[in-house]
Structure 1
Amino acid sequence: MIRVLIADDQDAVRFSFRTILGAAPDIRVVGEAADGNAALTLAKEQLPDVALVDIRMPGMDGLELTRVLGEAVPATRVVVVTTYDLDAYVHTALRNGACGFLLKHSGAGLLTEAVRAAAAGDALISPEVTVRLLRELATPSPAEHPLTDRELDIVALVAEGRTNAEIGATLYITAGTVKTHLANIQQKLGVENRVAIAAWAWDTGHCTPRRPTRP
C-alpha cells in the first residue's frame, strides 16, 4: 500500500485528490495539511511514501518544503502538483529533489500514475511541461542505440508525455507490456526513469513514433 500525504491550502483541491486517490486500491491517504509547516510535521509523524505538494501555501511554500522534506524525511518522495507551470518553478522543484511535477488539471489518471511512479523510485512530469523543457535541449544528433523499432515507438511517445495507458492504446498493447518495454529501455540506455528516456529521445532525434500498427 502506497501511503500519501497531501499538502495544499485549498480545501477543494485536497478533497479532490483524496477522492481520486481513495479510488485506487493500492493507495491510501494518511494525512492532509493546508500549509508547509503542518505538512512537514505530519510527514515526520506519518512517514508517507509520497507527498503531493502545492507550491503556493502559507508559511513554508511547496518548493522549500520539497527541499526540507528531502533532508528531514528522505524516504518520502515528493510530487509537486500546482496550477503554475513557470519554468523557474519546475527547475527549482526538480533541483530541490521533487521526483514529479504535475499541473492540477492533468487529470485523475496522471495523478495516480505519478504517485505510483514516485513510490517506485521513478519520475513523472506533466506532458506539456515535459515537452517544453526537453525542447530546450541541444539540437538532436543521430546516435547508435540498441533499441528495437517497438521500443523506439515507446520512447517517442514517452517524449510526448504520454502515460503507459495512452501508449498502450496507441500501439495496441497493454499497459503492462508498455511497463515491461520501459524497464528494458531503461536498462539498455542506462537511465533511471521515463524523464531520462524522454531526454534521450529529444537529444538523439527519436521523437516521432512510426505509424502504429496492430501486432
Structure 2
Amino acid sequence: MPRPDRVLIVDDHAVVRRGIRAYLEALDEVEVVAEAGDGEEALEVLAAMAVHQELPDVVLLDLVMPRMDGVTATARITGQYPTVRVVVLTSFGEMERVHAALSSGAAGYLLKTAGPAEVAAAIGAATRDETFLDPTVARRLTREMVSPPTGLGALTGRERDVLILVGAGCSNREIAEELAISERTARTHVSNVLRKLQLTSRTQAALVAVREGLVRPCQ
C-alpha cells in the first residue's frame, strides 16, 4: 500500500480542527500528523518536525488567524520548507485573497463548504505538484482571464485602499500598519496594483491616485 499523505492542520478554531481531523482520519490515503492554532505555531511545529526529518507533505490552513495570517504563513512555509505544499481551506473566497494566497505559493484553495472528497483531492494534487482550486474560485479566475477588467475597475477593494495609501506617500510598512496586514502582504498588494494598472513604479501609481482624486493622508 502507498504511504498516506501526511497533513498538518492549521486553524485558530479548535472545533474546526477537530472536525477536519475527523473526516480526514476516515480516509486511508491521508494521515493527520499534527495540528496548530495559527501561522506562528505552525512554523514552530514544522521546525520541530524538521529536526526529526518528519515534515508533513501538506499543510492545510485557514487564511484569517491571529498573530500570523495565512498568506504570510504560506510564504514562510513554502520558503523555508520547499518540499511541503500548502492548501488553503477557508471561508473567504474574495479574489484578492485567492491571488495573495496563490502568489505566496499555495498549491490549492478550497472553501470550507468543500466536502471530504474535495479536500482529499486537493491534498493529493498538492503532493503531485498540481494545483487544485475550489470550483467557484476556478470559475472566477477563468472569467478574469477571459474578460479582464481594466483601469481602476481591475482593482479589488483592498488594492484600491493600497493605491490610495501609495498616493499619500506611504511605505509598505505604513500601508501594513494602516490596513492591519503584514508588510509582505502589503508588498504583494502594491505589486498587484502596478501589474493591473500596467505601471512600472510607485511614483506612477501615486500620480494615478492623485489624478483620480483618491489621495488621503496616512494616519
Tell me if both proteins adopt one fold, taking TM over 0.5 as the criterion.
Answer: yes
User: Which of 48, 51, 68 is the matching residue for 1:45?
Assistant: 48
User: Which of 6, 27, 38 is the matching residue for 2:9?
Assistant: 6
Runs of 4+ in 1 over 2 A off after TM superposition: none
Q: What's 1:24 paired with?
A: 27
1:118 and 2:123 matched = no
- Following superposition of structure 1 onto structure 2, how do residues 48-67 of structure 1 map, counting pairs within 5 Å? 48-67=56-75
Q: Which runs of 5+ in 1 are unaligned?
A: 140-215
SS at match of 1:29: strand
- Following superposition of structure 1 onto structure 2, how do residues 174-213 of structure 1 map, counting pairs within 5 Å? none
Distance (Å, rounded) in 2 between the aligned partners of 1:102 and 1:20:
15
Q: Which runs of 5+ in 2 are unaligned?
A: 50-54, 148-219
SS at match of 2:48: helix
- Are the aligned partners of 1:7 and 1:54 in contact in 2 as well (CA < 8 Å)? yes
- Count how many residue pairs are aligned between Structure 1 and Structure 2: 140
Q: Which amino acid aligns with 1:71?
A: G
Shift of residue 44 of structure 1? 2.4
SS at match of 2:89: strand
Question: Percent of pairs identical after alignment?
Answer: 41
Q: What's 2:180 paired with?
A: none
Give the number of the structure whose alpha-carbon radius of gyration is greater. 2
Shift of residue 74 of structure 1? 1.2
SS at match of 1:106: coil
Q: Which amino acid aligns with 1:39?
A: A
Q: What's 2:96 paired with?
A: 88
- 1:40-94 deviation per Cα after TM superposition (whole angstroms, max 9, x unaligned): 1112223110000100111111000000001111111000110000111000000
Shift of residue 120 of structure 1? 1.5
Shift of residue 13 of structure 1? 1.1
Q: What's 1:129 paired with?
A: 137
Shift of residue 26 of structure 1? 1.8
CA RMSD for the aligned pairs?
1.4
Shift of residue 133 of structure 1? 1.1
- 1:103-129 deviation per Cα after TM superposition (whole angstroms, max 9, x unaligned): 001111101111111111111010011
TM-score if structure 2 supplies the norm length?
0.62
Distance (Å, rounded) in 2 between the aligned partners of 1:5 and 1:95:
21
SS at match of 2:47: helix
1:107 and 2:115 matched = yes
Shift of residue 137 of structure 1? 1.1
Distance (Å, rounded) in 2 between the aligned partners of 1:117 and 1:70:
16
